[in-house]
Structure 1
């Protein structure tokens, strides 16, 4: 489940190389001490706490309260554990930008090298779904650009990922702790820490349960029928209370995706979200249709507190 979200200002520039090298060495020793004294599960629990993570970055020497703390600390941790990680059973995959997209391949490589067996498929799924939830099911205005997946030789995992909102100049950090995940798409946040809140399409909120069910149901409908309905909506003058507007959606642009969901026939919203190609526009379209056809109103509550 989500264990927290941190809100950080976007700053330009990079950390000095000499500082990054020291951060990597110090993070290695701190992590090793935690694992030896308290175990790997406790390490993941601490990394999934946004306050502890922020303090960890300051202790390592990155004492700026900016978005760079997330990427730098995760990068230092990844470098620091390249050799020590296998000894203590802790691995770090992913990173910023292109590195984030290589996360599944890195997990698979670790799994093959260190004999993680059946756990690999589950870990890859957790990595992909946690990113999909924060980028697609929760549409809060922050586009993910960083995804780090920390996992152990026994299959435990945690996620630290970050999105940016260039319009506001702020970044938002999301923390996940695998041991508490019961359902990827229902109320995953247990704590959200930030000063900036706004409206968000929150399809993982508890009050979006009906909208999730309706969206999954609609995704199994004939795509041509759905496209016709969306085109009709674009001609309507919707009441001001609606947070989703027909003008936000281009029916033609999601026709191919709806055809894919129709062919795969997802049983529930989590399966729908896991289909390749299902992105924010598709989720918005299905959420709008869910409200107008079934009266299933999604939540627009920003999970940040």
Structure 2
């Protein structure tokens, strides 16, 4: 039986993923996927996508707003674009998306099934059932607006879909995993992201089996018209004299509950600092000695190694490592300048190293990919002994260097520090670039950009 993995609150954010970030997210997301499949196989990759903590960290390490509901939309969009050309090689296909893209999921599954050889019609039915369960059988106040269906060549799949509650300005993300799924109507979720916001009618709960059976029986005995009259009469009586409500006592253990705060800035309470210090120490103190193969990529230094340490953790980390998704935003910042602008030069070097490692591994040389794995192992060893700066100081220093790292956000390029502008007397070319008109890209037109 599929298990429920936890819950989280995601603040609703408006906005778009700029094309310059969308392209990088697609490339890095595809490379991380390739690394996971290479080391652990497709089944494990699907399990990762079904884990809400890992999914949030995955989006954060790619420069998306670390706490936002937009991570769901942007990650699904990035994977759809990035994995499309690799679907034949990896045997992984991403369908659906936000809004109108979600409604194309059944047709996409049928088309892929005809091409690959699995039963796309059955999977299309599964897609519709999953959407129906979370929109009708789980009545929790969230209206679905995103449906992503990721399927492997062997027919195994994971669904990540999301609903919004306009009154509370929050989103809830639902994770489904086909592995072990025996019923669409009894405890089917791998995870549901979103904290309790009042009474929930959950007809998929195992304790609601009698209710489901009675509803079907009532429909057969009374018919729809009689049911409507009875409900109307009951609602009238309830308005005058409310009936006592009987609550089911939960009999399942407490599950991890990820609550993403509404504040944009990354604060010390959002980060497990010993883990961050481990990554800093691993990059600064021993990167050059122990990971010389990684440093052979031109332009790679301690700052890129630090980002690679966080990427390596996303590839190799156990589930318990993702309790603080905000920490992974410290790899490549965020598009809204939180925790700091996206260091595009560092981001590009991270992509270069990962791409080089994957290409070499495909040719039988796994030294560079193994070095990334060892980087993750070494980072964990350093955690127990490493000391480092306080988080505000760390972020302030990163912001101070942002211009040199190619810092960029939705507000434009980061200018050089004041003293550099005074000493050179020159305009910053990054500012000149950011002053130009916004050009529509292919990713904008194809639906990767909306972040809500």
Q: Normalised by the shorter chain, which TM-score bucket?
A: 0.7 to 0.9
Question: 2 CA distance for matches of 1:43 and 1:103?
Answer: 20
TM-score in terms of structure 1 length: 0.75
Residue 41 of structure 1 pairs with residue 50 of structure 2: no
Match of 2:227 in 1: 226
Question: Aligned-pair distance for 1:120?
Answer: 1.5
SS, match of residue 237 in structure 2: coil
Structure 1 residue 196: deviation in Å?
4.7
Alpha carbon RMSD of aligned pairs, Å? 2.3
What does the per-residue CA deviation read over 1:83-119, in whole Å, with 9 as the maximum and x for residues that have no partner? 1012110000000000001100011111112222xx2
Residue in 1 that maps onto 2:79:
77
Q: CA deviation at 1:122?
A: 2.4
The corresponding residue for 2:310 is none
Residues 193/103 of structure 1: CA separation in 2 closer, same or farther (3 Å cut): closer
Which residue of structure 2 lines up, in the alignment, with residue 129 of structure 1?
Answer: 129
Deviations 1:46-76 (A, max 9, x none): 0000001011111222143101000001100
Distance 2:249 2:144 in 1: 19
Aligned residue pairs, count? 249
Q: Give the aligned partner of residue 255 of structure 1.
A: none
Q: Answer yes or no: is 1:153 the counterpart of 2:153.
A: yes
Does residue 172 of structure 1 match 2:163?
no
Deviation at 1:33, TM superposition (A): 1.5
- Deviations 1:173-224 (Å, cap 9, x if unpaired)? 1111111211111123455454453211111122212111101111223333
Q: Secondary structure at the match of 1:240?
A: coil
Q: Where does residue 16 of structure 1 map in the other structure?
A: 18
Conserved? CA contact 1:6–1:193, under 8 Å: yes
Assess, with a 3 A threshold, how the Cα gap between structure 1 residues 190 and 6 changes in structure 2: closer, same or farther: same
Q: Structure 1 residues 215, 110: CA separation in 2 closer, same or farther (over 3 Å shift)?
A: same
Tell me the distance in 1 between the aligned counterparts of 2:178 and 2:13.
Answer: 30
Question: Which residue of the partner structure matches residue 58 of structure 2?
Answer: 56
Runs of 4+ in 1 over 6 A off after TM superposition: none
Aligned residues of 1:163 and 1:171 also touching (Cα < 8 A)? yes
Choose which of 23, 31, 41 in structure 1 pairs with 2:33: 31
Matching residue of 2:104 = 102
Q: Is the contact made by 1:11 and 1:66 (CA closer than 8 Å) also made in structure 2?
A: yes
Query: Structure 1: how far apart are the matches of 2:249 and 2:79?
Result: 35
Distance in 1 separating the partners of 2:249 and 2:202: 5
TM-score w.r.t. length of structure 2: 0.52
Q: Paired residue for 2:185?
A: 185
Contact 1:27–1:80, Cα closer than 8 Å, also in 2: yes
